[in-house]
Amino acid sequence: MNIKNTIKNIGLFLFVLLVSIQNTNADEKLSETEKEIISYLSDTYDEQLSFLEKIVNINSGTHNHAGVREVGNVFARELEILASKQNGRICPLR
């Protein structure tokens, strides 16, 4: 099994797990925030899987310094976006 299939299988498993949790009586015990998190994760599944696939497809072995830097740059860009959406309230990157 190649890495793409492994990632898709893990993602599918997590998605099914989240949907199962959401559709059981446990749903009644979840707070509104927890329900929002589950809803967000379900709604953005494809986007999350695409991001994960992008990261794992970067050749970033220990001795590939350029690849390691690229992975760091991808996460830095995503964190910058997150920080800007939070107006500096959560871990502002400056």
Q: Residue 86, Cα to own-chain centre: how many angstroms? A: 18
Place of tokens 């994760």: 41
**What residue segments make up the domains of the chain, in order of their start?**
1-57, 62-94
What is the chain written as a DSSP string? Answer: --HHHHHHHHHHHHHHHHHHHHTSTHHHHS-HHHHHHHHHHHHTHHHHHHHHHHHHTS---TT-HHHHHHHHHHHHHHHHHHHHHTTTSSS---
pLDDT at 39: 86
Q: What is the reported pLDDT for 94?
A: 44
The pLDDT value given to residue 93 = 44
Averages of pLDDT over runs of 10 residues in the chain (94 residues) are: 66 72 63 85 88 91 93 90 68 45
- Quote the pLDDT of residue 71: 93
